[in-house]
Chains A and B, each alone.
Chain A
Amino acid sequence: MSRLALALLLAAAPSLAAAPTSPAPAGGIDAPRGGPLSGAELDARTNEIGGLLRCPVCQGLSVADSPSSMARNMKAEVRDKLAAGYDREQILTYFERSYGEFVRLDPPMRGVNWLVWFGPVAVLVAGGGVVAWAIKRSARNSGAAQATDPGSVPSDLPSRDTLPADARLAEAVRRTRELAYDWPGGVPPKPRPLPS
């Protein structure tokens, strides 16, 4: 059980590793840190970074997806910067300077933002613990009940030798047994002694 939880946690880890880390932008973005790109790779990276920027005039669409002219201008800006050799963080910081943290669709790890990254993991671990506890408690409870007081846990389900407590249900069970099993009165017949 805990192994399963650990497995799920490990599965989540690479996702967390991809969480962007960056302090709040202070000034300009200085010189390009990466190498210039071109061709198919440029297109691919432009789309990738465009997907991380929010189109400011649209409702929730990314710059890569939005057809509006502002989004296309921003995408062209991303492309130019990539071709000049700026890397992802620098480009995201550039837009963040102008539009604020609002423009980043992927929340960077900053301030209280850690909650949105670690919250789900915490719930997973806590939930796994609750599930394990629930199973243990269920086993313990029924074991204890059987040991101390067999009749204390009320049950609707009839056993072979008795009829249930509820009057209507008892009637239905009795009739079924009479018809289906040929048990008069709904009670199993006593085993006949073997002829000696």
Chain B
Amino acid sequence: MATAPLPDAPARASRVNPWVLGAGLAVVVPLLAVLVLNLGRDPHSIRSPLVGRAAPAFSLAPVGGGAPVSLASLRGRPVVINFWATWCVPCFEEHAALTASARTFGDVQFLGVVYEDDEARTKAFLADRGSSYPALLDPDGRTAIAYGVFGVPETFFIDGAGRIAEKFVGPLNRATIASLIAKAKGGGP
């Protein structure tokens, strides 16, 4: 019963259906284009909208007490703000570079802002590793939010007029710090 072949299939109407072709292309071409254009894109690296804009103001107390440091008081000099934490491994790597660069570039004010960490641990870390610039505490994370910080380490290079010249995500080395400071001093992107 099963092996006898069926009679020949009826003659096929192989006209091209233009509607199907049109609809198919209208769906397929944009979809593929979008996917291809986005290949290699890293959805986790978000570009900062603050670059080129005025740096958000803040006034934060340094670790170990003392008068609050405000950004407004530093107008006129380039400022480097480094968001870091003691639990962040790449921050160890860049700490030495930043400390040394702060000594080298006397006219640039370096600031560290501690992100989601506690004061005692920070003090111990700085006592252990040394520091050449103030480390500020950001207890509610408000300053980090204002600067659009996603994680640590992130560093902002601000020019003398108070505009953010560049935001760098990840650990820095001395060469990069130097070139980005030059960019901030050069004024504008």
Contact B148 A69 (CB under 8 A): no
Expressed in whole angstroms, the minimum distance between the Cβ of B8 and any Cβ of chain A is 12
Q: With a CB–CB cut-off of 8 A, which chain A residues contact B146?
A: 98
Give the complex CA separation of A96 and B6 in angstroms: 67
Task: Name the segment of A13-21, A71-79, A173-181 touching the other chain.
Answer: A71-79
- Tell me the interface secondary structure of chain A in the complex: helix
Contact B140 A76 (CB under 8 A): yes
Q: With a CB–CB cut-off of 8 A, which chain B residues contact A102?
A: 46
What per-residue 1/0 map shows which CB atoms of B12-52 lie under 8 Å from chain A? Answer: 00000000000000000000000000000000001111100
Contact A77 B145 (CB under 8 A): yes
Expressed in whole angstroms, the minimum distance between the Cβ of B55 and any Cβ of chain A is 11
Give the complex CA separation of A51 and B4 in angstroms: 65
Contact B56 A57 (CB under 8 A): no
- Tell me the interface secondary structure of chain B in the complex: loop
Expressed in whole angstroms, the minimum distance between the Cβ of A48 and any Cβ of chain B is 19
Contact A70 B116 (CB under 8 A): yes
Expressed in whole angstroms, the minimum distance between the Cβ of A51 and any Cβ of chain B is 17
Contact B147 A98 (CB under 8 A): yes
Identity of the chain A residue whose Cβ is nearest the Cβ of B23 in the assembled complex:
A130
Contact B46 A73 (CB under 8 A): no
Contact B7 A100 (CB under 8 A): no
Give the complex CA separation of A70 and B143 in angstroms: 11
Q: With a CB–CB cut-off of 8 A, which chain A residues contact B148?
A: 56, 97-100
What per-residue 1/0 map shows which CB atoms of A116-159 lie under 8 Å from chain B? Answer: 00000000000000000000000000000000000000100000
Q: Interface residue count for B (Cβ, 8 Å)?
A: 24
| Given known contacts A98-B50, A102-B46, A154-B10, A73 and B150 CB-to-CB distance under 8 angstroms | no
Expressed in whole angstroms, the minimum distance between the Cβ of A79 and any Cβ of chain B is 11
| Given known contacts A73-B142, A77-B142, A154-B10, A57 and B151 CB-to-CB distance under 8 angstroms | yes
Identity of the chain A residue whose Cβ is nearest the Cβ of B140 in the assembled complex:
A73
Give the complex CA separation of A27 and B50 in angstroms: 10
| Complex partner residue of A74 from B50, B54, B145, CB under 8 angstroms | B145
Give the complex CA separation of A92 and B151 in angstroms: 21
Give the complex CA separation of A98 and B154 in angstroms: 14
Q: With a CB–CB cut-off of 8 A, which chain A residues contact B56?
A: 98
Contact residues, B133-151 vs A (CB, 8 A): 140-142, 144-148, 150-151
Contact A57 B150 (CB under 8 A): yes
Contact residues, B162-181 vs A (CB, 8 A): none
A98-B148, A100-B148 are known; give 9 further A-B pairs, CB within 8 A: A56-B150, A70-B144, A73-B142, A73-B144, A100-B46, A100-B49, A101-B49, A102-B46, A168-B1
Point out residues on B near A: beta carbons under 8 Å: 1, 4, 6-7, 10, 46-50, 53-54, 56, 116, 140-142, 144-148, 150-151
Point out residues on A near B: beta carbons under 8 Å: 27, 56-57, 69-70, 73-74, 76-77, 95-102, 154, 166-168
List 5 tightest A-B contacts by C-beta distance, closest first.
A98-B148, A73-B141, A100-B49, A99-B148, A56-B150
